[in-house]
Structure 1
Amino acid sequence: MCDSWVRLTSVLIEHFRSVAHGELSLVNRRRVHSASVLGLCGQNGSGKTALIAALRVLQQILSRHSVDENLTEYIQAGERCARLSFDFCVRFDSGEVPVSYEFKIFRRLRLSTDAPDDEAEQGETVNPVIQDEKLYAALPEKNGGLRRTLLIDTSGNPFIPVSKYRQLIGRSPEARANLTVAKKLAEERRLSFIWSPALLEQIKQRMGSSPEALPLSEQVCKILQRLNLYGTAQLFVFGPAAGMPKHLDVLPLRMKYESSQEHTAPFGSVPLTLNGPALLPEPMFLSVQRNVHQISLVLEKLIPGLEIQLKDLGNELSSAGQMLKRVELVSVKNRTPIPLRYESEGIRKIIAVLPLLIGVYNRKSVTAAVDNLDSGIFEYLLGELLRIISEQGRGQLIFTSHNFRPLETLDKGSVAFTTANPLNCQY
C-alpha cells in the first residue's frame, strides 16, 4: 500500500445539525493542483461546522471507534434520522477506484436498568445507532469500462444484495449467524457493521475457501482495509464542536516509530496536549521529539526567534508496569524556555495547526479538516500558508473560515460558500 492514497471528493448531509440538505464538491474543476484545498465561508448557523462534525463522525466510523453518545443531538428535531454520504477516490497500485459510503444515524431509546419502575421515564437515555449503511465502488467490467456497484447494504439481514452476499460470504449458516451477532453488537456499541473486524474476517475466510469469489473479495478487502487505515492514521478532524479535539488543546502528530514490543503499531497519530505535562510510552519518545523538532524548524521561518521543544521531565512507571516518559511542550525565546500553556492564543493556534499543514504539504495520503482555521491567526500569514499549500502541497485540506481575506489567496475553485437556506445548503 506504499503507493496508495485516499481523497475525499464530495459530501452530502441531510437533517444533521443546522443542515436539512447540503451537498459539497471537494474537487477544484477550475484548476488542477496536486493538493486539494477547500475553504468554506459563510454566516453563522449556515452549516460550516456541520461539515466538520460530519467528517468527525466519518473518522470515528472508519477507525472502528464508537460514535459520540451525544450524536443524537445532531439529528434535527422532528426527523427520525440524519443521513451522511461520502465519495472517495481510492488509489491502489492497479489504479484509482471511486468509492461511496453512506449511512444513517437513528435515535434509540435505552431504558436504564437501575431506575425503579415508577422512575422509568427518567431513566430513559437516547443512544445513537448507525444503520442503513451502503458501500459502493466503481468496478471494472468485461468491456473495460467501470460500473458503480452496490457491494454491501446493511438494510438486509445481515446484508444485501443477495448475489454479493453469496460471493463475499457464501451460504454457510455459521457465517450468517456470526455476522448477525456482529451486526447486533455493532448497533449496541455505536459502531459501524461494514467496518467491523468480524465482516472483514468472514470475507477473508471466503477468499481462502472459494477461488471463484476471489476477485470481488480481494477488491472489497482492499477497500475496507485502505479506508480503515485512512480513518485511523491519515484523517485529522479538529474543531470546537462537541466531541472534536480543539485546536488549542492538542498538537496532532502523525508519526512512525520503531518498537520491539509485539503489539505496538508502526504508525498512527499522537494528540500531544498543549496544556501541561503528558505521559508517553518510552519507545515513542524519540519519534515525538523528532516530530516536534521538524515543526520547530518551520515555526522559526514563520516567526523568527521562536522555537518549540519537547522537555523531558523524567520517567514514570505505569500501573501496568510500562515505562513512561513525562514530557511537556515548551516555547523558547532568547534561549529562555516557557511552558507552551503560557503562550498567547495566537502562538498556540499556529503551533497547533502547523503539524496538520505540514502533513498536507508533504503527504498525499493526509486529509486535515479544521473548523475556524482563521481564528487567532494573522490573516496575511494564514493567506500565505494557504497559497503555498494550494500550489505546492500534496494532501487535502478542508477548513471553515469567518474571514474572507485569507481565502483571497486561493483559486476560486478552492472556495465555497454556505447559504442561509437549510433546505438547500448548496455549499
Structure 2
Amino acid sequence: MWKSIVRLSSLTIKNIKNVKNGTIIMPHEYNRSFDCGGAEILGVYGQNGSGKTAIVDTFSFLQQIMIGEELDQRIADYIDTDSESAEVNAEFKIFNQNILYEVGYYIIFSKGDNGICIDREYINCAINQDGSRTNKNVFMDYRRNETETIFKPQKRLEELIGKNKDIKTDLIVAKKMAEKSNCSYIFGENSRDIFFNNVSDKFKIYVDVLSALFRFALGDLFVIDNSHSGMISTNVLLPMSFRVDKEKIGMKGDFAAPLMEPFVLDSERKELLKEIVNQINTVLYTIIPGMRIDIKDYGKQALDSGEEGWKVELMSVRGNKKPIPIRMESDGIIKIISILNALIQAFSNASICLIIDELDAGIFEYLLGELLDIFSKSAKGQLIFTSHNLRALEMLDKESIMFSTVNPNNRYIHMKNVKDSNNLRSMYIRSITLGGQEEPIYEETDSLKISRAFRKAGKLLHEERKKVVMVIVEGPSDENAIGGILKEHFSSKEVQFAVVHGDITSDFTTTKDNVLIKIGDKVEEIRNKYGYRSDDFVSIIHITDTDGVFTKDCIRQSDVKNIQYYEDHIETDDVSKVEKRNKHKSEILSKLYSTGRAKFI
C-alpha cells in the first residue's frame, strides 16, 4: 500500500516573540515534480535574540495543534506584546503516487479573557495530476466567531455530509467540543473521527490530505527544542528522541533516561530502551570512534505499582575499557546521543522532518560539518536547525542557509549575490561588518561601550553606589565654572554631582506644558551617558538667569545691538520681542517653581 510522503515547503510566522513577519523556505519549495527529491537541509543563522528559536517554538506548537491536543496556553506569552493575535502559515507538499498536493495550513491565535484560542484556521490545496494543476482553493475554513456556520465553503461541507444528515449534527457537536477543549477543529479528535469514517467520494481527496497531515505531525515530525539541552546541562536526564517501527513495538516520542542513578522500567519500556540503544549504537561508534552504549541490568525490582520491573543504568563503553556511567561523558557526547535516533530516522525516511534548536551546542565544529555534509548528500528526509557555528556555511549550498535580520518585519532572508565559487562563511562575516544585503543582518555593537559597561559593573561590585544630584545650568561656561566647584567641594562618598548645560527656559520650543518633558530628556541624557539607574537620582537643581523677566514697565527702546541690563531698567532695540520673551520665560519659571517633581525625581 502506498504511503504518502509529506514535506514541509515553508513556514511563515507573524507576531511571535520578536518576529513581526518572517518566512523560512525549504530548498525544494519551488520543485513541483512528483519526486520529493532527497534530503533537504535548512540552517538558520543570526545573532542572539534575532528570531531563530521562534521558528523551533512555532513548530512545537504547530505539532501539538495538528495532532489535536489542547492548545498550549504558553502561546500567549509568545505573542508579540504589541499585538493581540499571532499567525502561522505552514505550506506542505504531499506526494501520493501520481498526485502532488500543495497544501497550506493557516492559523490565527487570539488572546481572550479566558486565555489563548484559535480564532481561525483553514486549509487550502492545489492538485497536480496528469500534467495539470488546479487553483489553490480553500476546502475547509473554520472561524470561531461564526457560530451559525460549521465551516466554509458550503460546497465542501455539503460534499462531506452527502445524504447523511446525521453527519451535520455530529459536525456541530464536534465544533462545540473543539471549542470547549480549546483544540483545533480541523484536527481535533471528534472532527477527525467524522472526516475519516464518513467519507463521500467527492470529499475523499480532502480526507486523504487531512489524514496525511495528521500522520505527519504524529509520526514524522520531530521537534527538539532547548529543553533537551537544558536537561542535559543539568546532568539530570538524557532525553532521547526516538521512533521505533517494529512488529511488537511501534511508537515515537522522547525517552527520558535518568542520569544520576539507576532507574526501574517495566518490561515494555525495557524492550523499547533496548531497541533505541541498538539503533543508536549502529551509528554512534562511527561518530565517537569505538564508543557504544550498554544497558547495565541490576536485576528485578518491583515498580511503585507493585508490578515486576527491572533496575537498569545506561553505561558508556569504549573498546576494552571498563564501562562508566553515561553521565560521566561530556555534554557534547550526550547531546549527540539524545538526537541520534531522530537523525537516523530523518536520514532513512523521506517523510521525516527533524527540527533542532542549537544543533551545534557542545558538538565539535569539524564533526558538525561532516555530519551535515553526509546528510545533505545521502539522506532522504528534511533537517531544519539553528546554529551559531559557522562551519555549516562552508558545507551547505546557499539555498540551505537562511539568515535572521535586524528587521522584525522581514526577519529571514537568503543572502543575495552568492556565486558557486563564493565562500558563504566569508560573505556572511563581510555582510555583518559592511552590509550589502537587502536587510541588515547584524545589529551593531560598540566594543568601547561594552568595555566601559564591564568596567562600571566591576566597580559596582566593590563600592556602594553614590546618589546623584543633577545640576542643570544654562551654558558651557556655567558648566565649567559651577560644575567644577560643586564636584570639588560638595561631592562625597555618598553623593556626586552631574552637571549638564542647556538653556531650556530661553528656548522658544519650550513651553510651560512641555518643560518637564525637556528636563526629563536631560535626565535620560545623563543617565545613558554615565550608566546611572533611575533610583540613583535624589534631586535636580536647575540654575538659571531670570533675565529680569518678572519686572514690569522698565523696558526702554535704545539703539543697542544686544540687550543691556541696568539696576532700574532694560534697554533693547526691539521692546516687543523682549516683552514676548519675558512673558514666555516667566511662565516657564513659574511652572518650575510650583512643581515638586520632574521625571521620576
SS in 2 for 1:16: coil
Percent identity reads: 33
* Secondary structure of residue in 2 paired with 1:46: coil
Structure having the larger proportion of residues in strand? 1
Cross-structure match for 2:184? 192
What corresponds to 1:147 in structure 2? Answer: 135
**Residues 69 and 367 of structure 1: is their aligned pair in 2 closer, same or farther, counting only changes over 3 Å?**
same
Please say if 1:362 is aligned against 2:309.
Answer: no
Question: Partners of 1:339 and 1:188 in 2: how far apart?
Answer: 47
Q: In the TM superposition, what whole-angstrom CA distance separates every residue of 1:19-52 from its partner, at most 9, and x where no partner exists?
A: 0000111125799961010010001111100111
Change (3 A) 1:353 1:95: same
> d(CA) in 2 for partners of 1:143 and 1:33?
19
- 1:394 to 1:346, Cα distance in 2 relative to 1, 3 A: same
Partner of residue 383, structure 2: 397
Q: RMSD over aligned Cα, in angstroms?
A: 2.8
Letter in 1 for 2:344: I
Select which of 289, 293, 297 maps to 2:278. 293
Show the counterpart of 1:123: none
Q: Does 1:55 align with 2:59?
A: yes
Kept after mapping to 2: 8 A contact 1:130/1:192: yes
Letter in 2 for 1:253: F
Alignment partner of 2:116 out of 107, 128, 133: 128
The residue type paired with residue 266 of structure 1 is: G
Deviations 1:340-386 (A, max 9, x none): 22321111112112222222111112111001111110010000000
**Deviation by residue 1:368-405 (Cα, 9 ceiling, x = unmatched):** 10011111100100000000000111110000011212
1:117 alignment partner in structure 2: none
Distance 1:351 1:49 in 2: 22
| Count of matched residue pairs | 398
- Is 2:240 aligned against 1:251? yes
Instruction: Answer yes or no: is the 8 Å Cα contact 2:101–2:128 preserved in 1.
Output: no
Q: 1:421 to 1:388 in 2, by over 3 A?
A: same
Q: CA separation in 2, counterparts of 1:238 and 1:425?
A: 22
In structure 1, how many angstroms separate the alpha carbons of the residues matched to 2:305 and 2:215?
28
Residue 39 of structure 1 aligns with which residue? 43
Single out whichever of 290-299 and 9-18 deviates more from structure 2.
290-299
2:411 is aligned to 425
Structure 2: tracts of 5 or more residues without a match:
233-237, 414-601
In structure 1, the residue matched to 2:76 is 72
Residue 414 of structure 1 is aligned with which of 396, 400, 403?
400
User: Which residue is equivalent to 2:203?
Assistant: 217
Q: TM-score, normalised by structure 1?
A: 0.85
Structure 1, unaligned runs of 5 or more: 111-126, 208-212, 260-264
Tell me the amino acid that sits aligned with residue 380 of structure 2.
R
Rounded to whole Å, the distance in 1 between the matches of 2:161 and 2:124 is 17
Work out the CA distance in 1 between the residues paired with 2:311 and 2:101.
Answer: 44
Q: Cα offset for 1:61?
A: 1.4
| TM-score calculated relative to the size of structure 2 | 0.61
Q: Which has the larger radius of gyration?
A: 2
Cα gap change, 1:139/1:96 in structure 2, threshold over 3 Å: closer, same or farther? closer
SS of the residue corresponding to residue 77 of structure 1 reads coil
Change (3 A) 1:6 1:87: same
In the TM superposition, what are the counterparts of 1:231-250 in structure 2 within 5 Å?
231-240=217-226, 248=232, 249-250=238-239
Secondary structure in 1 aligned to 2:314?
strand
**Residues in 2 aligned to 1:33 and 1:138: alpha-carbon distance in whole angstroms:** 19
- Among candidates 304, 309, 318, match of residue 289 of structure 2: 304
Alpha-carbon distance, 1:144 to partner: 4.1
CA distance in 2, matches of 1:337, 1:146: 61
